[in-house]
Structure 1
Amino acid sequence: MALAQPIPGRSQHERPPLWRDAAVLKWLIQISVMVVVIAVLWFLSRVASTNLAAKGFEVNFDWMSGPANFQLGEGIDTVPNTAGRALWAGMVNTLRMAGAGILLATALGIVVGLARLSSNWLANKIGSVFVETLRNIPVLVQIILWFFIISELGALRNADSPLGESGPIPGWLYISQKGISLPRVFYADGFYQFMALLLILAVPIYFVNRSLHAKRDREGGESIAGRVTLGLLLVAALIAWFANGIMSFLEVPLYAIEDAWRAIPQPLMQTVLMLIALGAAFEFVRRFLNSRRTPAGLAKLTDDDYFRMVFAVVLALAASVIVWIVWPGLSSWIINSGGDFWGWFGDKFGADVNDVTRGSRPIDAMRPTIGTGRFSNFGPTGLTMSVNFAAVFLGLVFYTASFVAEIVRGGILAVAKGQTEAAAALGLSRSQALRKVILPQAFRIVMPPLGNQYLNLTKNTSLAIAVGMTDIVQVGQSVFNKNNQFLAVFIIWGAFYLICSLTISVIVNYINGRLAIVER
């Protein structure tokens, strides 16, 4: 029986025409979509700027270096000299709110989540009421409710008042209609010397730790590396606490670095930035190709793989164009800002404003105080939250903690029951089993939804404007009410919250990757 012969002159592996080639179509579609998106964004920005210019509202950012002409209720600078400084103070207030809120909401949520799983009837019911009540009341309503509750508290009284000093714990904790004040822990003049000396002492401790781990791997037995390392770190911290003054000599080299940094020519900085961008792109491509290598050689790359590598190179080239053509002033800003940083860092190792050599306790604490006079106010010593700040903080913390509690409870219930039984069979107590067996496995499950709650809390800080707290939204509103730069302020708002969200996502994804079980 004769076999069918292939058609002469035609290869069995001939590529299809370009209009039917899947690889070509994928690239064409992706590039087309990217061009369309960029074109639409450019068109919208041009239309918006043209319409605003026709109405006398020119969109620019020159106003950031102009005078603010208003005061802030609280923050690192209550009388900012520029609008940019005012926005920065609002950003810091927002970051303080988000950072402290995430920590406290996580701790409170874990406690409430464990209470809901407790066999104790009272703890279980308290946890259930907490969750079912707070998570079903809108966060804005809770913020306003806390604002009115704190505003209706008793007046702030000092020790000279006939009714006695305010409480509930005079000298340690004050809660009144003017806010909340509690002890403040802060880093003192010797903090930077302390950290520098501790870092130097930590280098040999690191090698000791590696040596102990290597010995355990060779000889077996129980590892003492953790206990020895902890003991050495405590000794190093004790030495650095009392001997940190010897690091004051770093003032001279840091000032030398400042002078050298300011002397960098602008073209050289532009070249360095371009090389960093190109180097990062090629390093990404190199690592990407290495990840696709097998013992038999380089694996076959897909169209998506090629697109990733090409896109990385295109981004690097775009960054180079920005540095040299679009925004040449970026290099000057980096030179000036870098010089300011090294000068500020050198000041931390030199003499203070009173010409007194630094080198004292690295960390200090101060208790809250109430000023004297006819009208009582909190003194500058304690950690004070205004009524506005406290209302937003408590509202966000309790609202977010109710969701965190349910996430933690669900994560614990998702751990196989056999793990609890195995821990009990090993003689572990309930607290030991929870700490060493159940929670480590539960956190592998709960980290992604916890990250979503952290993002929600950070973005919900924008609701602080409802009670007049000085956050970035409230400050931005004051800015564009004075100079009509509302589009520029909206761009700053969007960029700020985008950076915050991406930063939180990167941190949560990193932790989630570290917690993941490594499989072969």
Structure 2
Amino acid sequence: MSDPVPVPAEDPPLRAARPRPARPRPRRSWRHPATRALAWQVLAVLALAGGLGWLAHNTATNMAARGIQSGWDFLMQTAGFDIGEQPVPYESGDPYWRAFLVGLLNTLRVALAGIVGATLLGTLVGLGRLSRNLLVRGLCRTYVELFRNVPLLVQLLVWYLLLVSQLPGVTEAMNWRDTVFLSQAGLSLPWPAHGGAAVDGAAAGWHWSVPVLDGLSFSGGAALSPEFLAVLLGLVCYTAAYVAEVVRGGIRSVARGQIEAAQSIGLSRRQTLRRVTGPQALRVIVPPLTNQYLNLTKNSSLAVAVGYPDLVSIANTTLNQTGRAMECIVILMAVYLGTSLLTAALMAAFDRRAAIRER
């Protein structure tokens, strides 16, 4: 007789899930740290706004009592002075706001070129300080100690005197393959241009415009004045000394074990730098490198010492002609604050993008 087939027990009935009671929101009280922090921040902002308002009111009252004009209407008045270097078209009959625009573009031009040059030169010098070659390491260290300990203003004056007094005249300019010319008038080099002489009845497209000696000056191409070159060389050489130390310190911060591991699998020094130490050192390099970029931009205000028409030079001329000292100072503060915040934001975005993402 066969055994009876067991009947499976019925599953217990499913119980409806009980809804979780909503957690009561914590009541904000003065004992809560977040509440106290928010309150102090609000008080600080109100105190700062009140202080600035009192300062503005007091300044306006004192200026009115002494008969000193104030306001921003002067920006629409005729400037009445020429500017030697003009990234955009400008004439003496244009208003002051356009003169400030030219000064701003001149400042940005030398600052951006200086950042690129200081980054490249500083990186090379920083890597040179880590070289196994004693001569290269010594030369790079001498460069850092020399340019870092000489005031920037002195370097600007030295560069300007060298460019103006030691270079040959325009008619005897130093040249490279009759395309690049260096003289007391500055540096003339080829530059892309559009249009020009007709070719087979049609206007030429994009081509290289080569400078040609035309009397006592060069026509065609791009010309960099000795004032611009002096400021650019001074900013690049001075800032590159600090960038070199930032790069050297960043690479040294990588653990020695990482380098030994890379060497154990057969990577060369260049491959180790690009694939192992470089990405890790970048996290240490970016924050202090941002400070050097900010310092370079603000140090460009010393360009007025060699006659380069940057924003500070335009503001000084405007101040002397109109007497609007407060307005000119506010413009300078706003521009340098804006450029500093923009530079910091861009470098922060780059830092987030270049950060190593761990699994």
TM-score relative to the length of structure 2: 0.84
User: Which of 359, 378, 393 matches 2:218?
Assistant: 378
| Aligned alpha-carbon RMSD (Å) | 2.5
Task: State the number of aligned residues.
Answer: 329
- Whether 1:60 aligns to 2:67 is no
User: Which of 477, 498, 516 matches 2:316?
Assistant: 477
1:390 deviates by: 1.1
| 2:231 equivalent in structure 1 | 392
- Cα separation, 1, equivalents of 2:125 and 2:191: 27
1:24 deviates by: 5.2
- Whether 1:79 aligns to 2:91 is yes
User: Which of 160, 180, 186 matches 2:187?
Assistant: 180
- Which stretches in structure 2 are left out of the alignment for 5+ residues? 1-23
Deviation per residue, 1:163-191 (Å, 9 max, x gap): xx4214252322222222222246x47xx
Which letter does structure 2 place at the counterpart of 1:507? L
User: Which of 35, 39, 50 matches 2:61?
Assistant: 50
Give secondary structure in 2 for the equivalent of 1:119.
coil
User: Which of 428, 453, 461 matches 2:300?
Assistant: 461
| 1:425 equivalent in structure 2 | 264
- Which stretches in structure 1 are left out of the alignment for 5+ residues? 1-12, 159-164, 190-351
| 1:518 equivalent in structure 2 | 357
Q: Contact 1:154–1:176 at 8 Å: present in 2 too?
A: yes
- Cα separation, 2, equivalents of 1:20 and 1:438: 48
1:119 deviates by: 1.3
- Whether 1:369 aligns to 2:212 is yes
- Cα separation, 2, equivalents of 1:450 and 1:20: 41
Which letter does structure 1 place at the counterpart of 2:284? I
- Cα separation, 1, equivalents of 2:96 and 2:138: 50
- Cα separation, 2, equivalents of 1:18 and 1:444: 40
1:428 deviates by: 2.5
1:27 deviates by: 4.0
User: Which of 268, 271, 277 matches 1:438?
Assistant: 277
Structure-2 change in CA distance of 1:150 and 1:23 (3 Å): closer
- Cα separation, 2, equivalents of 1:441 and 1:110: 15
Give secondary structure in 2 for the equivalent of 1:424.
helix
- Whether 1:36 aligns to 2:47 is yes
Deviation per residue, 1:4-51 (Å, 9 max, x gap): xxxxxxxxx9x9996766665444433222212111101101111121
- Whether 1:142 aligns to 2:142 is no
Give secondary structure in 2 for the equivalent of 1:427.
coil
Which letter does structure 2 place at the counterpart of 1:79? E
1:411 deviates by: 1.0
Greater shift in the superposed pair: 469-478 or 33-42:
33-42
Greater shift in the superposed pair: 419-428 or 452-461:
419-428
Structure-2 change in CA distance of 1:185 and 1:129 (3 Å): farther
1:140 deviates by: 0.9
1:412 deviates by: 1.1
| 2:21 equivalent in structure 1 | none
| 2:123 equivalent in structure 1 | 110
Give secondary structure in 2 for the equivalent of 1:370.
strand
User: Which of 406, 410, 413 matches 2:249?
Assistant: 410
Q: Which has the higher contact order (CA 8 A, sep 6+)?
A: 1
Q: Contact 1:181–1:378 at 8 Å: present in 2 too?
A: yes
- Cα separation, 2, equivalents of 1:458 and 1:75: 19
- Cα separation, 2, equivalents of 1:118 and 1:85: 49
Q: Contact 1:147–1:388 at 8 Å: present in 2 too?
A: yes
Q: Contact 2:175–2:182 at 8 Å: present in 1 too?
A: yes
Deviation per residue, 1:361-410 (Å, 9 max, x gap): 5x5432233321xxx2232x233221211111100000000111111111
Q: Contact 1:155–1:178 at 8 Å: present in 2 too?
A: no
- Cα separation, 1, equivalents of 2:90 and 2:210: 22
| 1:156 equivalent in structure 2 | 169
Deviation per residue, 1:132-152 (Å, 9 max, x gap): 110111111111111111111
Q: Contact 1:49–1:58 at 8 Å: present in 2 too?
A: no
TM-score relative to the length of structure 1: 0.59
- Whether 1:123 aligns to 2:136 is yes
Which letter does structure 2 place at the counterpart of 1:145? V
Which letter does structure 2 place at the counterpart of 1:405? A
| 2:336 equivalent in structure 1 | 497
- Cα separation, 1, equivalents of 2:27 and 2:187: 73
Deviation per residue, 1:327-360 (Å, 9 max, x gap): xxxxxxxxxxxxxxxxxxxxxxxxx9x9xxx997
Give secondary structure in 2 for the equivalent of 1:181.
strand
Structure-2 change in CA distance of 1:489 and 1:430 (3 Å): same
Q: Identity, % of aligned pairs?
A: 39
Deviation per residue, 1:281-309 (Å, 9 max, x gap): xxxxxxxxxxxxxxxxxxxxxxxxxxxxx
Q: Contact 2:72–2:327 at 8 Å: present in 1 too?
A: yes
| 1:323 equivalent in structure 2 | none
| 1:167 equivalent in structure 2 | 174
Which letter does structure 2 place at the counterpart of 1:483? T
Structure-2 change in CA distance of 1:436 and 1:368 (3 Å): farther
- Cα separation, 1, equivalents of 2:298 and 2:192: 27
Which letter does structure 2 place at the counterpart of 1:34? V
Q: Contact 1:135–1:402 at 8 Å: present in 2 too?
A: yes
Give secondary structure in 1 for the equivalent of 2:166.
coil
1:127 deviates by: 0.8
Higher relative strand content: 2
- Whether 1:401 aligns to 2:240 is yes
- Cα separation, 1, equivalents of 2:275 and 2:30: 59
